């Protein structure tokens, strides 16, 4: 599902959209990971930011 650019309101920061280049760029910077690591995390646990953060912080 693509972001509706015409819709206004609070940004959906609960999900990571790998289909949007700017979101991939922003999330890799925010989480301090490469694009490959971000994609691996989303593939493993889904797009929920809490799950991705937990996956990336595992030892």
Task: Give the pLDDT of residue 13.
Answer: 77
What is the DSSP code string of 1-53?
Answer: ----TT--SS--TTB--TT-HHHHHHHHHHHT--HHHHHHHHHHH-SBHHHHH
pLDDT in tens, 1-59: 555 555 444 456 799 999 999 999 999 999 999 999 999 999 999 999 999 999 999 74
Cα–Cα dist 29/36, whole Å: 13
Task: Give the pLDDT of residue 49.
Answer: 95
Task: Give the pLDDT of residue 58.
Answer: 77
Spatial CA neighbour of 28 closest among 20, 11, 12, 8: 20
Task: Give the pLDDT of residue 9.
Answer: 43
């Amino acid at each position: 599902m693509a972001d509706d650019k015409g819709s206004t309101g609070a940004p959906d920061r609960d999900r990571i959209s790998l289909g949007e280049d700017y979101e991939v760029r922003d999330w890799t910077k925010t989480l301090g990971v490469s694009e490959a690591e971000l994609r691996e995390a989303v593939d493993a646990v889904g797009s929920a930011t809490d799950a991705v953060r937990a996956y990336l912080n595992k030892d």
